[in-house]
Amino acid sequence: MTPEIDPATRALRTLLDGFLAAAIEAAHPDTCLPAHLPPPTPGRLIILGAGKAGGSMAAVASRFYREQHGLGDDRIVGLAVARHGYGQDAPGIRMVEAGHPVPDEAGIDATREALALATAAGPDDEVLVLLSGGGSANWIAPAGDLTLPEKQAITRAMLRSGAPIGEINTVRKHLSRIKGGRLAVAARNARSILTLAISDVPFDDPAVIASGPTVPDPSTLADARAICERRGIPLPETAIRLLNDPLNETPKAGDPAFARAEYRIVARPIDALEAAAAAAKAAGYEPVMLGADLEGEAREVAAEHARIAREIKASGRKVALISGGELTVTIRGEGHGGPNQEYALALAIALDGETGIAGIAADTDGTDGGRGEATDPAGGLVDPTTLARARAAGLDPAAMLADNDSTRFFAEIGDLVQPGPTKTNVNDCRIILVG
């Protein structure tokens, strides 16, 4: 017999959904972008957007300049590329949907067009770059003779290796014609280059967000080679040649291309977490922030957070444990899932039905790992009945964790978190309610 979810537990689940929604809303371009948009210059405004929020950022910018400043199609030109399912109508700006996390041909075509628009920018034109997480996959322009299938294979191998996003982007930058400051080089004749970014990376490093297309790149060819060797990434001969060619080094600080380039972050992971914390406080919980920049293996972090939650429960406090960052999964099994779902499954196992504790873990972009579809789930929800309901459904939680099969686990018990494409991206949001 499947255990019932009691009213108190249902109330906790409703609170968790609401706190996650507050986090996402705080980071949406509608909320965070308008205050940072500058008045237009006399020339053209060339808007280039990329990433999971690329479409929504472009839509906000187009609406702002048309409604607030009266600009028309003669002044606004541009292109935005977002993950499939994340596009949004932005008058005057061509919208393209492309592959993520594995790039596709649509991304290549859009990136060629973006580079052409940047290169054509003249001394009266301002280039407005709207960046968000996912831009590394959406803006895809393989360098040298590297082919799309080769770039796709390298991306898949990096993702399966468990490498953090900084390492993945270091390799990407040295195999690309747009990443690692190269877009700024293409737009070097513009009056100015302003980048407005929604950060999805630990510590909000502009060189890591969407692989830093408009900022100097501190990483080197030697760094990229070392990462591939350490992670055991198989490389085709075309990639080996690129990583060994000194002429393929990315532009560094002091390059003239960055003289008129400005960079601002308009939303950070901590902004979303603080919005969740405010909502939790309003509901009577003491917010305890575990960090906005957590990294590490999802199942290991979950076990530690379960330990903390148990200690807090024993103290009698009513607490909301809140954390962000970008966890990783080293794939060893044949199942499907993502870091947030794996974290949630490992959390359920570690809590082992502990009463009075419930949690949610989700990617604020609306999808968590998966197969690159806009319908992929964002994460999972855990309450004291999770394991009992799973076992009543014939599931073996430990075996499914070992097989990296967290999506099926939560789908079978109806506890996948599925907000759909949120059209923003400030990384993971994890909330555990205690008491």
Per-residue pLDDT tens over the stretch 309-351: 999 999 999 999 999 998 999 889 999 999 999 999 999 999 9
* CB-based contact 100:372 (threshold 8 Å): yes
Backbone angles phi, psi at 67, to 5 degrees: -80, -40
Q: Give SS3 for 357.
A: strand
Task: Say how far apart CA 394 and CA 277 lie, in whole Å.
Answer: 36
Residue found under tokens 């008058």: 91
Task: Say how far apart CA 325 and CA 290 lie, in whole Å.
Answer: 10
Could you give the maximum distance between any two Cα atoms of the chain, in Å? 72
Other C-beta atoms lying within 10 Å of the C-beta of residue 42: 9
DSSP annotation of 15 reads H
Task: Say how far apart CA 346 and CA 163 lie, in whole Å.
Answer: 20
| pLDDT reported for residue 351 | 98
Answer whether the bond into residue 101 is a cis peptide, omega within 30°.
yes
What's the CA dihedral at 59, 65, 71, 76 to 10 degrees? -50
The tokens of 63 are what? Answer: 């609406």
| pLDDT reported for residue 373 | 84
| pLDDT reported for residue 371 | 74
Q: Give SS3 for 332.
A: coil
Beta bridge mates, 262 = 194
**Rg value, the chain, Cα:** 22
> Between β-strands 126-132 and 192-198, what pairing exists: parallel, antiparallel or unpaired?
parallel
Task: Say how far apart CA 261 and CA 280 lie, in whole Å.
Answer: 39
Task: Say how far apart CA 89 and CA 55 lie, in whole Å.
Answer: 7
Order the strands of the 319-325 sheet from edge to edge.
286-294, 319-325, 428-434, 357-363, 379-382, 416-417
pTM here is 0.91
Q: DSSP alpha helices (H): ranges in 33-177? A: 54-69, 105-119, 135-138, 148-161, 165-173
What's the CA dihedral at 206, 207, 213, 218 to 10 degrees? 150
| pLDDT reported for residue 4 | 82
- Residue 306 region by backbone torsions, left for phi larger than 0, else alpha for psi between -120 and 50, else beta: alpha
* CB-based contact 333:403 (threshold 8 Å): yes
Mean pLDDT by 10 residues, the chain (435 residues): 83 97 97 97 95 97 96 95 95 95 92 97 97 94 95 91 89 96 97 97 91 97 97 97 97 96 98 98 98 95 98 97 94 93 98 97 91 89 97 97 97 96 96 96
Task: Say how far apart CA 27 and CA 25 lie, in whole Å.
Answer: 5
> 249 Cβ partners below 8 Å, 6+ apart?
174, 220, 221
